[in-house]
Amino acid sequence: FRFWENPPDAWLEREVAPHTEWEIHCALTTPLLRVSGTEVTRLGERSWRVRVIIDNTGWLPTNVTQRAIERRLVQPILAAITLPDGAALHGGNAVLELGQLEGRSHITAMTADFGSPGAGTVDRAVAEWYVDADPGSTCSVTVRHDRAGRATTQVVLD
């Protein structure tokens, strides 16, 4: 067979097997968004502050490389709230741009640097909206990024 073709079926597993662990390792280093928490604060009879905490739990930053930012090849993380019928945002936009998040690759062990000050929680962002809605209403929040995936959560206003 020619080098640009797949091997015969009988040889395929033998050809691919040495590469699978490396490919799995690479896949596990990619950025991954996760909603790590929500907070609902009642501000009035029908007024609420909704906060959603987003983490990049992957090894690499959401932009993967600095060059992707420099060349504008990567979009920011977007957080969008979907409101129930009869609800409205009190100012602000339903879709927020959250920039990029670092991954775990920037974190060093505390014993390595003896607790020297770091950059804080650069792997975490907070999206916040002010909502006018009836108590007991449910809002949906979706966070997405081209390279880090999508995460969705439901928030009950109570």
- 46-95: pLDDT as tens digits: 999 999 999 999 999 999 999 999 999 999 999 999 999 999 999 899 99
Return d(Cα 131, Cα 22) in angstroms, integer: 46
> What's the number of CA atoms in the CB half-sphere (13 Å) around residue 156?
2
**CA 5 → CA 9, 14, 18, 20, distances in Å?**
12, 15, 18, 19
Kindly indicate the confidence band of residue 116, based on its pLDDT and cuts at 50, 70 and 90: low
pLDDT-derived band at 114, boundaries 50, 70, 90: low
Tell me the average pLDDT across 143-158. Answer: 97
* Sheet of strand 88-89, all strands in order from the earlier edge strand to the far edge: 33-42, 47-56, 124-132, 88-89
Q: Taking Cα atoms as reference points, which of 145, 27, 10 lies closest to residue 80? A: 145
Residue-wise pLDDT tens digits, 4-61: 788 889 998 998 898 999 999 988 899 999 999 999 999 999 999 999 999 999 999 9
For position 15, what pLDDT does the model report? 87
Beta bridge partners, 47, equal 132
Q: pTM higher than 0.75 for the full model?
A: yes
At residue 119, φ and ψ (nearest 5 deg) are: -90, 10
